[in-house]
Chains A and B, each alone.
Chain A
Amino acid sequence: MRAADILTLTKSGLYCAAGDFYVDPIRKVPRAVITHGHSDHARAGHGAVLATAPTLDVMEVRYGPKFAASRQAARFDETITLGEARVTLKPAGHVLGSAQVLIEVQGARLVVSGDYKRARDPTCPAFEPVQCEVFITEATFGLPVFQHPPVKDEVAKLLHSLKLCPERAHFVGAYSLGKAQRLIAELREAGFDSEIFVDAATAKLCNVYEAHAVRLGRLSLLEEKLPSDLSGKITIAPPSARRLFADAEYEPVTSFASGWMRTRKRAQQGGGELPLIISDHADWNELTQTVLEVSPGELWITHGEEAALIHWANLNGIAARPLAIKGYGQDDVPPV
């Protein structure tokens, strides 16, 4: 068995014939292993789902209790046999519950890393490099221009702005799963212990974090407040919640937290008055460092800015190929 034969790319996503399961399938399938709860990886309607307990909880919060016919929670490092395949989940450091999937078939080893990062995150265990013959990586920030600054510096900018404009509300646009909770936890570590306002969807996911022993401190529901209550406070919610601040008298300092804020064009398009470069994906240095640590014979790239990473891998003697999952037309379209 060659490691490269463990998975094949089908219309529904990556399929393991030896264990008869898919990893993060993009269509409904009888059996799925899910790396983490973001909606492009974790979909509703599969038959059996294997994932970490926090990921299953996130799916239930998002899709309701019937999101799959059956579910099985796996602990990190616990090996589960599916048909002829041995499956072990390893921390990916992306969001709460996020896992890499190590698949072993007759001694051959392949790792699907899902989405991951290497920077410290107080809300989830750190990524563990796992040696394997085939390593499947993302490349969301797969260009050398993407180098995320230390998150503490970005959090300090937000707190400094609050000092500079103590009478204004501070609205930070962030994903409801992962980014929001990480930012809250980082604010707490920086000594900010006032209440933080979140929208209802983010609050539900914060409850999942709390249930898994991630302490987020005092949170209040944004929807229950008047604009005047938010002056001098920090609100963290998806960008669409910005509309709740319609009253011009209480115009907030608007911020957006994303790795895309690294380039000026993006920051000026959507970063508000205070763009923050905070990402839950590996930057260029983290991607290349990880590949060197894992030292696979072959690198497969699921999605993202893959051309530069493939070129870099080839320079380093590693065979690399794009999977172009979700129908990327990379051959005929140049990067932006």
Chain B
Amino acid sequence: MNRFAELMDRLASANDPELKQRLRADYTSGVSEAESKIAQGILNRTLKIRRLKLPLVRGLAESRLDPVLFALSLKYVGDAAETIALLWPARHGANRAPSLAEVLDGLSTLGRSELPKRLEAWLDACDAKGRWALIKLLTGFIPSDEALPTKNSEQQTGTLLPAQERSQPGRVEALLMYVEHGRSRSSDLICTFGVWDKGQPTPLAKVSAGQWREQISAFASAHPGRRFGPVTEVTCTPDIALMLEVEYESLQPSPRRKSGVSLIRPKLSRLLPDRPASSAATLPDLLLRLPAHQRRAK
């Protein structure tokens, strides 16, 4: 299970078809022919698998963990299956991780009352990725981009987004790039924020510093860059940068802008002073949030 999960994970993040091919070959050479056939059946969705309901799995996780800790974790991660996979408390003396064949065999032979206990043992034996793949497999939500690794990337990303006219409201973890004092006397501070693009910060839009004016101002004066009239550049490297969380109502394509995208009604929602700057969003990631037909090749 762990190996199959690792394969799915790597395929999802690999861009290069040659790399995908090697990853598949590497997986196949490391498992039995029967196991490889099952994996193939899962990936191309020809295999029928008995489904379980997510609340059953969730019940198992909740019986092991305080409900507040579970709720806080779910709020952070966003996806219940992934939350369970990540926070599943390890139990000492667990067996080795089950193979796909063992999981399928268990599913077809175990009765309704025996299954939860077996599932618990499987979850104990898998690593976090293995648990994630197991839960997704059993609840029937293997994401389509991972199930069809041979499709080209445009098709893959298209399946991830609902087909609608406007992008959803959202938030982006961005980098502080420039500050300037507001034009009025009200001593507001205007922040230009951006995201990474090919390793460089690229500006997106401006927001008011609002209640965080002092902290932002303190960071800017501790890490000043060049000055352009009223505008001061702020140090923005993967090592030193201030990360901001910015909410927006929607995204629109904007060919005039360097970034190619404009944020509608951006609003600073909080500072993330402890996040590593290198984990800020990237421009390609943001562009993927546009409805598929609005995306253009950059």
Residues of A within 8 A of B (CB): 26-27, 39-40, 43, 138, 140, 143-147, 149, 164-165, 173, 175-177, 201, 238-243, 251, 253, 256, 258, 260, 262-275, 303-305, 307-308, 311-312, 315, 326-329, 333-336
Contacts and interface: CB of A to CB of B under 8 A. Distances in A.
B297 interface: no
B23 A336 contact: no
Contacts of A329: 211-212, 270-271
Interface stretch (B36-44, B62-70, B91-99): B62-70
Interface string B62-94: 000110111011011111001100110110000
B86 A243 contact: no
Contacts of A326: 215, 271, 273-274
Contacts of A253: 19
A144 B73 contact: yes
Nearest to A201: B239
Interface residues of B, number: 62
B139 interface: no
Contacts of B189: none
A147 B212 contact: no
Contact of B15 (A258, A273, A307): A273
A47 B79 CA distance: 49
A149 to B, nearest CB: 7
Given A40-B273, A326-B215, A260 B279 contact: yes
A269 B281 contact: yes
A102 B291 CA distance: 54
Contacts of B298: none
A17 B15 CA distance: 56
A303 B282 CA distance: 25
Given A26-B218, A145-B77, 16 more contacts: A143-B73, A144-B87, A238-B237, A238-B238, A239-B196, A239-B238, A240-B200, A251-B16, A265-B78, A269-B279, A270-B278, A271-B13, A273-B19, A275-B13, A308-B69, A329-B271
Interface in B245-298: 245, 269-271, 273-276, 278-282, 285
